[in-house]
Structure 1
Amino acid sequence: MQTGTHFDREHCVRAVQSKDARFDGWFFTAVLTTRIYCRPSCPVVPPKAENMTFYPSAAACQQAGFRACKRCRPDTSPGSPEWNQRADLVARAMRLIADGVVDREGVPGLAARLGYSTRQVERQLLAELGAGPLALARAQRAQTARLLVETTPLPMAEIAFAAGFSSIRTFNDTVREVFALSPSELRARAPKGRTSAPGTPGTLVLRLPFRAPLNPDNLFGHLAATAVPGVEEWRDGAYRRTLRLPYGHGIVALTPKPDHIACRLTLSDLRDLTVATSRCRRMLDLDADPVAVDDHLRTDPFLAPLVDKAPGRRVPRTVDEAEFAVRAVLGQQVSTAAARTHAARLVTAHGKPLDDPEGGLTHLFPSPEALAAVDPETLAMPRTRRTTFTTLVGQLADGTIHLGVDSDWAETRARLLELPGFGPWTVDVIAMRALGDPDAFLATDLGIRRAAGELGLPATPAALTARAEAWRPWRAYAVQYLWATDSHPINFLPV
Structure 2
Amino acid sequence: MHHDPESCYRAVKSRDRRFDGVFYTGVTSTGIYCRPSCPARTPALRNVRFYPTSAAAQAAGFRACKRCLPDATPGSPDWDVAADVAGRAMRLIADGVVDREGVDGLAARVGYTPRHLSRLLSAQLGAGPLALARARRAQTARTLIETTGLGFADVAHAAGFSSVRQFNETVREVYATSPTRLRGRRGGDATSGQLTLRLAVRTPFAGRALLDFLAHHVVTGVEVAGDGWYARTLDLPHGPGTLRLELADHRVAGETAFVRATLGLEDLRDTSAAVERARRLLDADCDPLAVDDHLAGDPVIGGLVRATPGLRVPGQVDGDETAIRTVIGQQVSVAGARTVTGRLVAAHGRPVDTRVPGLTHLFPTADALAALAPEELPMPRSRGRALVALCGLIADGDLSLDRGPDRDEVRRRLVAVPGIGPWTADYVAMRALAHPDVFLPTDIGVRNALRGLGDPTPEGPRSADPAALAEAWRPWRSYALMHLWNTLMPETTADTEEC
Which band: TM-score by shorter chain?
A: over 0.9
1:114 aligns with 2:97: no
Partner residue in 1 for 2:384: 386
Contact map agreement 1:100 1:274 (CA 8 A) in 2: yes
Q: Which moved more, 1:295-304 or 1:167-176?
A: 295-304
Partner residue in 2 for 1:324: 322
Contact map agreement 1:206 1:263 (CA 8 A) in 2: yes
Q: Which amino acid is the alignment partner of residue 315 of structure 2?
A: R
What's the offset of the Cα at 1:236? Answer: 5.2
Contact map agreement 1:26 1:81 (CA 8 A) in 2: yes
| Pairing partner for 1:17 from 13, 18, 21 | 13
In structure 1, runs of 5+ residues without a counterpart are none
1:159 aligns with 2:155: yes
| Pairing partner for 2:471 from 469, 472, 479 | 469
| Pairing partner for 2:25 from 29, 34, 50 | 29
- Flag the 1:418–1:494 CA change in 2: closer, same or farther, 3 A: farther
Partner residue in 1 for 2:313: 315
What's the offset of the Cα at 1:10? Answer: 2.9
Partner residue in 2 for 1:233: 224
| Pairing partner for 2:446 from 427, 445, 448 | 448
1:349-397, Cα deviation, whole Å (9 max, x unpaired): 1111111223210000010011112343332211111211221122221
| Pairing partner for 1:139 from 126, 135, 139 | 135
| 1:279-294 matched pairs, under 5 angstroms | 279-294=277-292
In structure 2, runs of 5+ residues without a counterpart are 251-256, 495-499
What's the offset of the Cα at 1:425? Answer: 1.5
1:214 aligns with 2:205: yes
Partner residue in 2 for 1:242: 233
Supply the distance in 2 between the matched residues of 1:107 and 1:338 (Cα, whole angstroms): 43
Contact map agreement 1:452 1:459 (CA 8 A) in 2: yes
Partner residue in 2 for 1:412: 410
What's the offset of the Cα at 1:481? Answer: 1.3
Contact map agreement 1:450 1:459 (CA 8 A) in 2: no
1:54-73, Cα deviation, whole Å (9 max, x unpaired): 11110011111110111111
SS at match of 1:85: helix
Partner residue in 2 for 1:197: 189
| Pairing partner for 1:103 from 99, 121, 124 | 99
Supply the distance in 2 between the matched residues of 1:459 and 1:433 (Cα, whole angstroms): 27
Contact map agreement 2:151 2:190 (CA 8 A) in 1: no
Q: Which moved more, 1:206-215 or 1:388-397?
A: 388-397
Contact map agreement 2:300 2:461 (CA 8 A) in 1: no
1:263 aligns with 2:261: yes
| 1:14-93 matched pairs, under 5 angstroms | 14-93=10-89
Q: Which amino acid is the alignment partner of residue 282 of structure 1?
A: R
What's the offset of the Cα at 1:85? Answer: 1.9
Supply the distance in 2 between the matched residues of 1:158 and 1:10 (Cα, whole angstroms): 43
Q: Which amino acid is the alignment partner of residue 100 of structure 2?
A: R
Q: Which amino acid is the alignment partner of residue 484 of structure 2?
A: L
Percent same amino acid at aligned positions? Answer: 55
Contact map agreement 2:400 2:410 (CA 8 A) in 1: yes
Partner residue in 1 for 2:178: 182
1:411-462, Cα deviation, whole Å (9 max, x unpaired): 111111111211222111111111211111111111112223444455689x
Supply the distance in 2 between the matched residues of 1:301 and 1:376 (Cα, whole angstroms): 46
SS at match of 2:340: helix
Runs of 4+ in structure 1 displaced over 6 angstroms?
none
What's the offset of the Cα at 1:111? Answer: 1.1
Contact map agreement 1:218 1:480 (CA 8 A) in 2: no
| Pairing partner for 1:349 from 343, 347, 353 | 347
Contact map agreement 2:451 2:462 (CA 8 A) in 1: yes
Q: Which amino acid is the alignment partner of residue 338 of structure 1?
A: G
- Flag the 1:295–1:117 CA change in 2: closer, same or farther, 3 A: same
Q: Which amino acid is the alignment partner of residue 193 of structure 2?
A: G
Q: Which moved more, 1:13-22 or 1:53-62?
A: 13-22
1:274-332, Cα deviation, whole Å (9 max, x unpaired): 11101110111010001111111234222222211211111011111111111111111
SS at match of 1:276: helix
Q: CA RMSD in A?
A: 1.7
Q: Which moved more, 1:452-461 or 1:263-272?
A: 452-461
1:484 aligns with 2:486: yes
Q: Which moved more, 1:293-302 or 1:80-89?
A: 293-302
- Flag the 1:236–1:266 CA change in 2: closer, same or farther, 3 A: farther
SS at match of 1:74: coil
| Pairing partner for 1:128 from 124, 128, 152 | 124
1:165-201, Cα deviation, whole Å (9 max, x unpaired): 12222211111000001112222xx1x3x331355x2
SS at match of 1:280: helix
Name the TM-score, length of structure 1 as normaliser.
0.93
SS at match of 2:202: coil
SS at match of 1:76: coil
SS at match of 2:82: coil
Matched residues, number: 482
| 1:413-428 matched pairs, under 5 angstroms | 413-428=411-426
SS at match of 1:46: coil
Name the TM-score, length of structure 2 as normaliser.
0.93
